[in-house]
Amino acid sequence: MNDVLLRAENVSKHFGGLVANDNVSLSVYKGKTHAILGPNGAGKSTLINMLSGDLTCSSGSVFLGNLDVTHLQPNERSLLGIGRSYQKTNIFPTFTVLENCRLAAQSREPRLGAVFSSASNYEPYKNLAEKAIWETGLEGYESRVASALSHGEQRQLELAIVLATQPSVLLLDEPLAGMGSEESFQMIDLLKKLVKTHGILLVEHDMDAVFAIADIITVMVNGSVLMTDTPDRVRASAEVQQAYFGH
């Protein structure tokens, strides 16, 4: 299908004798939200890490469009359009919202030292940063120091930082973790908006949220894909009920 942005083809990951992913295949489509569900230890984060390049694959391949990116580093994949959120670890707490996003935008500049280039060269990056801030609903917060933001706002900033790198695909590991219901609603709205212009792959434990936003769900158990289908079919599957929900 032409709309496939990112594809894992029979990827496996072994940690010593432990098989964390076993021949997993999955596609992320433009304009679709693909959620990965599965019990703790099922291999969801390992899969995301292989797609972002944070983990190497023991076997199998990762394609961005038609390009084989299996052996590329995370920063190289980021330059090509794979945006990965890292649950706050990519936020500089003492920098402002705008500075955090501007630095992320500049990270796309392959030229060494670009981050320290003269202020007159900042303009294009500032524009990208402001666009990402606007897209995530953080306008008005540009000059706030990141550490002073609420938990939900920091999660929005995390997403803004990813968007400032101009990704085509968003890999999101538990974007709703630690959020209250109001903040969750806002994040769900934001993801619904962002999917119109991106492909989204997310790991999320909040079932209500997953069924509210996912177009496609992959259920993983013990490192393998149990099922990939529409939310309705996944919900109705006796096999999924048994393997995941335990009844």
Strand order in the sheet with 216-221: 82-84, 169-173, 199-203, 33-37, 216-221, 224-229
Distance CA(114)–CA(104), nearest Å, equals 11
Distance CA(236)–CA(238), nearest Å, equals 6
CA distances, 165 to each of 114, 140, 221 (Å): 14, 21, 32
- Report the interhelical angle of 123-135 vs 151-163 (nearest 10°): 130
Which CB sits closer to ligand ATP, 101 or 243?
243
Q: How far is the CB of 43 from ligand ATP (least distance, A)?
A: 4
Q: How far is the CB of 40 from ligand ATP (least distance, A)?
A: 3
Q: How far is the CB of 21 from ligand ATP (least distance, A)?
A: 7
Residue 226 CA to chain centroid, in angstroms?
22
Which CB sits closer to ligand ATP, 29 or 244?
244
Q: How far is the CB of 55 from ligand ATP (least distance, A)?
A: 8
Site residues (vs ligand ATP, CB under 6 A): 15, 18, 20, 38, 40-46
Distance CA(11)–CA(55), nearest Å, equals 11
3-state secondary structure at position 238: helix
Which CB sits closer to ligand ATP, 46 or 136?
46
Which CB sits closer to ligand ATP, 13 or 32?
13
Which CB sits closer to ligand ATP, 40 or 66?
40
DSSP at 115: G
Which CB sits closer to ligand ATP, 43 or 83?
43
Q: How far is the CB of 58 from ligand ATP (least distance, A)?
A: 12
Q: How far is the CB of 170 from ligand ATP (least distance, A)?
A: 17
Neighbours of 221 (CB within 10 A): 19
Q: How far is the CB of 197 from ligand ATP (least distance, A)?
A: 27
Q: What is the torsional sign of CA 69, 74, 78, 83? A: positive
- Measured in degrees and rounded to the nearest 5, phi and psi for residue 91 equal -90, 135
Which CB sits closer to ligand ATP, 21 or 136?
21
